[in-house]
Chain A
Amino acid sequence: MSPEEGDGSSLPAEDVPDAAADIEISDAARATAAALATRARELTVDLPLDLDIHAFGRALEALAPGEPER
C-alpha cells in the first residue's frame, strides 16, 4: 500500500495522534486508569493468556454442568 492509499507511512511516528488526544481527562480519571493498569499487570503476569478470542465463550460452554452440548 502506498502512502497515498492511507497506510500512514508518510507520517513521522510522533505525528500519529493518540486516539484520545483531544479528549479532556481529569487527574482523578488518570489516577484511576493508572491504578487499574498497574493492578491488571500484576494479575495477568503469571496467568496463561488465552489468545483465542472465542476462548471465553467456549470455556462457559465446556464448564456447564451435565452433558456437553454441540
Chain B
Amino acid sequence: MSKSELLQFEAFDIAAKIRAGEISSREVTEAAIEALETRGRDLNAVVELDAAGALAAADACDVERAQGRFRGPLHGLPLAHKDMFYRAGRMAASGTRIRQDFVPDTTATVLQRLDRAGAIDLGRLHMVEFALGLTGHNAITGTPRNPWNPDYVPGGSSSGPAATVAARINYMTLGSDTGGSIRGPAACCGIVGIKPTFGRVSRFGAMPLSTSLDHVGPLARSSKDLALMLHVIAGHDPNDATTSRRAVPDYAGSLEHPIKGLRIGVNAQDYEEPVDAEVQHRADASLEVLKSLGAEIVRLGLPAFEPFNSLRRLIMFVEAATLHRRWLQTQRQHYNPQTLARLEPGCAIDAIDYQAALRVRAPMLREFVSSVFDKIDLLHTPTLPDPIPRIDESDTGGSQKFVELVNRMGYFVCPFNFLGLPAISVPIGFLDNGLPAAMQLVGQPFDEATLLRVGNAYERETGVMTHGPDD
C-alpha cells in the first residue's frame, strides 16, 4: 500500500489496521510526516513537526503491539494539532509573535488524554492569531490555504488543522471554538467538526481566549472519527472547574442507530441575516436527505439569534481584552490589525454590562431550550450564510468591513457558544465555485450522540465525504 493510500483511510479504520497488525504505526507515521512536510507546507498549514520524536513513539507502539499490549483506541495513530494546546517543554505560539518563545510547563488535558489513548503527537499547526477570527487570515504566519482551492480561505481559527484533515494528510485533529472556530473551518474545508456542550471537554492547557465561551473539540473526516476522538477527550477534569461530572456516553456505539422518527427543526421564518440563495438551496436539499432517512422535519419559529450574538461578542471582547491587557500596553505593535480590531472594544465596556451579559445566559438558555427543544430533537441551520470568500477579497486588515464579514460568517455558529449547546458542522456538497457548503445541527445539552448519529447517517447516505480535494 502506498503512503498516499494509507492516508486515505479514516482514523477509525487506520487505527483498526494498526491494532490488527496489518500496518505498522511507523509506516503510517512516516506517511503522515512526509505529507505534512510537502502538501502541508504548500498549504501553509504546518508550524513545526517533531519527526524524530514521533517516529520513536511509533516504534514503541509497534513493539508494544507485537507484545499484545495496547495503550488505547488510538494506539499508534499519528495526529497533528492546532498550535495552542500546551505540551510541557514544547513551544506553543498560538499564531502570534507575542508568544513565539512561549514554552509551557504543563500539558493540556486533551493532549494527555490523547497520549493515554495511544495517539502520537506529530506537531503544531497554524492558526489565526490568538484564535480570534473566523476567516483564517493571519498576516504574521501567513494564511493557510483551502485545499479545495488555494485562493479561498480555510476558515478560522482552526485553519491549519482543518486544511490538513481535508487534504487527507492528517487523520483528525483538535480545535477550539469560541465563536465558530471549529465549525467554520470544518465548513470551509469540507470536513466535520463538533463543538461539544460547554463543560463536556476540558480547556485546561488550551490557550484561553474567552473562558466563558471557549470550547475544545475535534475535527475529522467523518462523524465516526469525531465520535472516536470525542470519547477519548471528553469528561470531568479536576483542572477545569467548568467540566461536567456526567458520564461520557459510548458515542460510536450509537452511531448506527436509525434516525427515523427524530424531529429535526428548521426555522419557518426569515433569519435577521439573509442567507445566500445557493447556500439555502443546498441546506434545503440536505433536509430532504434527512427526511428520506425517516427524520421528521418540523418548521418552527425560532427566537432571534441577534441577542445571543450581541451578548456573546460583548462577553468575548471583555474577557479577551482582560487576558491581553498587558500585551496591549506593551506589545501592541506585534498584533495583527484584525486581532486589535477585536480586542480594543473590550477595553471600553463597563464591568456592569459584562456581568449583566454573563448573568442572563442561564435564563436565556432555559428559555431557548424550553421553547425550541420541546418540539424538536435537534435544530438544522446552514453553518455559514454565504459561499466561502476568497483570501484576497476578504483580507481587509482591521477595517470595519472585516469586522462585519466576521460577524456575518458567525451568525449561525456564535449563538451556540453563548448558549453552550452542542453543535456539529457536516458537509452537504459543493457550490458553483467548487467550494464546500455545510449544515449545522444543534442539540440539547450533552446530547452530542444524536448529532453524531445524524451526521453519520447523512454521510453514509450521500457519500459526501468519500473524495478529497486531491482525488
Contacts of A56 in B (CB 8 A): 198, 212, 358, 361-362, 365, 420
- How far does the alpha carbon of A63 sit from the alpha carbon of B419 in the complex, in Å? 12
Q: Are A41 and B353 in contact (CB under 8 A)?
A: yes
Q: Are B360 and A60 in contact (CB under 8 A)?
A: no
Known: A20-B347, A29-B344, A60-B446. A43 touches B307 (CB 8 A): yes
Q: Are B444 and A65 in contact (CB under 8 A)?
A: yes
Q: Are B420 and A33 in contact (CB under 8 A)?
A: no
Considering the complex, give the chain A residue whose CB is closest to the CB of B355. Answer: A49
List 15 extra interface pairs beyond A20-B348, A30-B345, A43-B357, CB under 8 A. Answer: A19-B325, A25-B347, A26-B341, A39-B307, A44-B357, A44-B359, A44-B360, A48-B363, A56-B198, A57-B199, A61-B446, A63-B373, A63-B444, A65-B447, A69-B246
Asked if B400 CB lies within 8 Å of chain A CBs, one says: yes
When the two chains form the complex, which single residue of A25, A47, A63 contacts B344, counting CB atoms closer than 8 Å? A25
Contacts of B242 in A (CB 8 A): 57
Nearest Cβ on chain B to A33's Cβ, whole angstroms:
4
Which residues of chain B (191-206) have a CB below 8 Å from chain A? 197-199
When the two chains form the complex, which single residue of A25, A40, A41 contacts B348, counting CB atoms closer than 8 Å? A25
Contacts of B359 in A (CB 8 A): 44, 49-51, 55
Q: Are A63 and B345 in contact (CB under 8 A)?
A: no
- How far does the alpha carbon of A58 sit from the alpha carbon of B373 in the complex, in Å? 18
- How far does the alpha carbon of A44 sit from the alpha carbon of B363 in the complex, in Å? 10
Q: How many A-B residue pairs have CB under 8 A?
A: 139
- How far does the alpha carbon of A41 sit from the alpha carbon of B345 in the complex, in Å? 16
When the two chains form the complex, which single residue of A33, A57, A63, A64 contacts B366, counting CB atoms closer than 8 Å? A63
Asked if A28 CB lies within 8 Å of chain B CBs, one says: yes
Q: Are B365 and A60 in contact (CB under 8 A)?
A: yes
Contacts of B212 in A (CB 8 A): 56
Contacts of A29 in B (CB 8 A): 341, 344-345, 347-348
- How far does the alpha carbon of A27 sit from the alpha carbon of B197 in the complex, in Å? 36
Contacts of A1 in B (CB 8 A): none
Contacts of B375 in A (CB 8 A): none
Asked if B349 CB lies within 8 Å of chain A CBs, one says: yes
Interface string of A20-42 (1 = CB under 8 A from B): 10111110111011101101110
- How far does the alpha carbon of A43 sit from the alpha carbon of B313 in the complex, in Å? 13
Q: Are B199 and A60 in contact (CB under 8 A)?
A: yes
Nearest Cβ on chain A to B27's Cβ, whole angstroms:
42
When the two chains form the complex, which single residue of A19, A37, A49, A55 contacts B314, counting CB atoms closer than 8 Å? A37
Number of interface residues of A (CB under 8 A): 37
Asked if B262 CB lies within 8 Å of chain A CBs, one says: no
Nearest Cβ on chain A to B403's Cβ, whole angstroms:
7
**Chain B interface mostly:** helix
Considering the complex, give the chain B residue whose CB is closest to the CB of A35. Answer: B310
Asked if A13 CB lies within 8 Å of chain B CBs, one says: no
Asked if A59 CB lies within 8 Å of chain B CBs, one says: yes
Q: Are A40 and B365 in contact (CB under 8 A)?
A: no
Known: A28-B400, A49-B356. A55 touches B347 (CB 8 A): no
Which residues of chain B (302-319) have a CB below 8 Å from chain A? 307, 310-311, 313-314, 317
Contacts of B6 in A (CB 8 A): none
- How far does the alpha carbon of A40 sit from the alpha carbon of B11 in the complex, in Å? 44
- How far does the alpha carbon of A25 sit from the alpha carbon of B321 in the complex, in Å? 11
Q: Which 8 A-B pairs have the closest CB atoms?
A: A29-B344, A20-B347, A33-B348, A55-B362, A44-B356, A49-B359, A33-B345, A59-B362
Known: A40-B314, A40-B353, A40-B356. A61 touches B341 (CB 8 A): no
Nearest Cβ on chain A to B115's Cβ, whole angstroms:
27
Known: A33-B348, A50-B359, A50-B363. A20 touches B325 (CB 8 A): yes
When the two chains form the complex, which single residue of A19, A39, A63, A65 contacts B310, counting CB atoms closer than 8 Å? A39
Sampled A-B contacts (9; CB under 8 Å)? A25-B345, A28-B403, A33-B345, A36-B310, A37-B314, A49-B356, A61-B244, A61-B246, A65-B445
- How far does the alpha carbon of A22 sit from the alpha carbon of B420 in the complex, in Å? 34
Contacts of A30 in B (CB 8 A): 345, 348
Interface string of B247-286 (1 = CB under 8 A from A): 1000000000000000000000000000000000000000
Q: Are B445 and A63 in contact (CB under 8 A)?
A: yes
Known: A29-B345, A61-B246. A40 touches B447 (CB 8 A): no
Interface string of B197-228 (1 = CB under 8 A from A): 11100000000000010000000000000000
- How far does the alpha carbon of A39 sit from the alpha carbon of B307 in the complex, in Å? 8
Find the residue from B245, B353, B420 having the highest chain A CB count within 10 A: B353
Q: Are B444 and A64 in contact (CB under 8 A)?
A: yes
Contacts of A70 in B (CB 8 A): 245
Contacts of A58 in B (CB 8 A): 362
Q: Are A61 and B345 in contact (CB under 8 A)?
A: no
Q: Are B420 and A60 in contact (CB under 8 A)?
A: yes
Q: Are B363 and A47 in contact (CB under 8 A)?
A: yes
Known: A20-B347, A28-B341. A60 touches B198 (CB 8 A): yes
